[in-house]
A and B are shown apart, each in its own frame.
Chain A
């Protein structure tokens, strides 16, 4: 595996043998999917490549405008500048108008593939050899290098130097990019460690606040509970005796407000009216008013019972309605807090609440309709009573003429009684009918009061306790935040390890070791020029003095230690990473302890 990787790495610096298009020359970064066997350089490029989700960590320096201008002296056509950034379609090598020309500018040289340049140089050497052979150059007796060979030598040296400079520049960029990434990653880890420590501290303080508040609340609740147990008071907000008193008073008020209506609606008995009048006239003292009121109900038991029944309906319905509402709310509260009692469902409280609510509406509606109808009934009755009154008075007149004064008086009394009663009933009915809506509001208010009383009278089995939900919610938020920070630190730590390793690997390699091979290839182009020239001229190259000089180009590699390019040694990065990891582990242990201590 290791050998395979080394081979792949070496292949990265070898000229490609197959014809490639110009567009392929600029592919500094290859799609890993296209290369199933990435070399170390590919991995370095991948590491240095900008992350897809964020801003690019490194972008190549843009080509200067002067570099993009095609120089007619250049033997290689510069890469066309795409307006939309898309590389132009690759042209076949055969279509190149002057494939033997060499890029003379440094910018053009940087754009070329090394192998392609050597091949082109070799092709240019052959062409120069053909051209010189046609004119029989160099002459056999002329010493010194031929002009064409000198040009080839210059081009070869230039190509070599360009290649060397480009490699150094590329390596510098890669190293700088990796260092920047390591620095940013380690800085991010440091920030996340700080954040993680703050979260852990907040978690610790939250626990202390929770303990303090819980202690205070529970102490207070214990004191209150002790007082309730001493006094024997039940956990009702509205005690039973006060509830009974309030409901009783409400019932009396409701009864007094509605009983006369039923008394006016039901058929009347003259004797009853007489008895009521007697009580009204005979009642004395401070209790006279009460006696008169009570006599109305005692002497009209039908109306009183009907009114009492309606009031009972109202009170009972309001009682069940208030209890159902309270039970429903308590049930909902218990469901939220997880204190669900037994197998009771909300429907058990909803059904009686709805039924009692409908009952209340019906009863209030009946009372309202009764008062509205009372006006019409009283008007009809008054007409009938007026006829009776007229009859009584007519009879009394005849009796009076006959001297039967007692009978006349009786008739007159009946007429007066009936008239007074009819007028009273009509006035009462009229006032009641006009006061229907206000009395409806009064009845509604009384019902609401009864509902409220029943609501607060409901036995509350719940006990007050310390509410730790806000603290629990904050704790979960802190734990989630801490977990997210941990995950981020762990990911960044892995990224840092990989980047540091890549940086170290990059520095351990010697990318310029291919320089001798390249030099040999370049020297071979000179040899090819000489050989082709001699062959075309039918001469032995040794017969040509100009070719007697050795081809050696003296291409020297300027070796430099790659570590000079670094800001810091990878070991320092690794040491810093280890420190951060140790610090992270300490914080993580403390965080785990704080998160699980509740």
Chain B
């Protein structure tokens, strides 16, 4: 009699344990954790390049800040974020750049509240920190816009983050303006073989796989189309992924994967 009772008790406890294990879907439906096993996506490298020259209007910088914040909020654990302010004249200038990686999850396979808090806090800090890159004050001392030199720094970021899906968001009118090239009003545009020649000389950065997304560049004039053509040729030569529809003036938001 006693053995029967103990056996019945054991069966009941075993059934309870089996039922208590639950399933991931069930747990997610029940609101436990954050849904069980995470759907993993390849890490990204998001690079923001800001043009604070006087040719960029205030509202354009404000738009850049808003779009940046929106895009940053979509970053995930392990994504790397980098920000550059366009050099003014050449690579000899000290760069104003910043890069960090969104903290990884503590456990890659498990969603934890602590990771979420860390991510949110980091992204908020990043947004706050990048405000300086869209600051509309103190731009009087900026003498030029050297996009080509800045892209060398971007290339360095790209190389420092292998295996990531790189996306470059350029908040600029894409008008290179330094001593050798001045695209404003097409005053000193590179000649037609400049890109091939520079490619042959090896003076162009390696932007292989980098998705280019331009915000603030006009495409409604012949001059602007000419400039666009130059950059399209340049990015193609440097290995970047440049698509025409990613060359915009005032987009509503920044697409997370603009090249796919």
Contact = CB atoms under 8 A, between A and B. Distances in A.
Interface of A: 241, 277-278, 281-282, 284-288, 400, 403-406, 408-410, 412-413, 416
29 contacts: A278-B107, A278-B112, A281-B33, A281-B113, A281-B114, A282-B33, A282-B107, A282-B110, A282-B112, A284-B27, A284-B32, A284-B33, A285-B21, A285-B22, A285-B27, A286-B22, A287-B21, A400-B128, A403-B100, A405-B125, A405-B129, A406-B101, A406-B122, A408-B125, A409-B103, A409-B121, A412-B121, A413-B117, A413-B118
Given A282-B33, A406-B100, A416-B117, A241 B125 contact: no
A366 B129 CA distance: 54
A278 B106 contact: yes
Contacts of A285: 20-22, 27, 32
Nearest to B115: A281
Nearest to A399: B125
A241 B2 contact: yes
Contacts of B128: 400
B17 interface: yes
Given A406-B101, A409-B118, A286 B16 contact: yes
Nearest to A282: B110
B19 interface: yes
Given A281-B33, A281-B112, A282-B110, A406 B103 contact: yes
Shortest 10 CB-CB distances between A and B: which pairs?
A: A286-B20, A285-B22, A287-B20, A405-B125, A284-B27, A281-B112, A403-B98, A409-B122, A285-B20, A405-B100
Nearest to A231: B1
A413 B114 contact: yes
B227 interface: no
Given A281-B112, A282-B112, 11 more contacts: A241-B2, A281-B113, A281-B114, A282-B33, A284-B22, A285-B22, A286-B16, A403-B100, A405-B100, A405-B129, A413-B118
A288 B32 contact: yes
Contacts of A406: 100-101, 103, 122
Contacts of B100: 403-406
Contacts of A284: 22, 27, 32-33, 36
B126 interface: yes
Interface in B57-113: 98, 100-101, 103, 106-107, 110, 112-113
Contacts of B112: 278, 281-282
Interface of B: 2, 16-17, 19-22, 27, 32-33, 36, 98, 100-101, 103, 106-107, 110, 112-114, 117-118, 121-122, 125-126, 128-129
A405 B20 contact: no
A405 B81 CA distance: 11
A278 B110 CA distance: 10
A282 B105 CA distance: 13
B126 A405 contact: yes
A264 B91 CA distance: 58
Contacts of A405: 100, 122, 125-126, 129
A254 B62 CA distance: 63
A32 to B, nearest CB: 88
Contacts of B110: 281-282
B205 to A, nearest CB: 23
Contacts of B36: 284
A277 B107 CA distance: 13
A284 B22 CA distance: 8
Nearest to B9: A245
A282 B20 CA distance: 14
A406 B122 CA distance: 7
A105 B113 CA distance: 139
B129 A403 contact: yes
A468 B16 CA distance: 55
Nearest to B106: A278
A405 B103 CA distance: 9
A27 to B, nearest CB: 97
Nearest to B110: A282
A287 B129 contact: no
A9 to B, nearest CB: 98
A409 B122 CA distance: 6
| Most chain A beta-carbon contacts within 10 A, residue among B17, B27, B113, B121 | B121
A423 to B, nearest CB: 16
A137 to B, nearest CB: 135
A405 B32 CA distance: 30
Contacts of B2: 241
A286 B32 CA distance: 11
B116 to A, nearest CB: 10
A403 B99 CA distance: 8
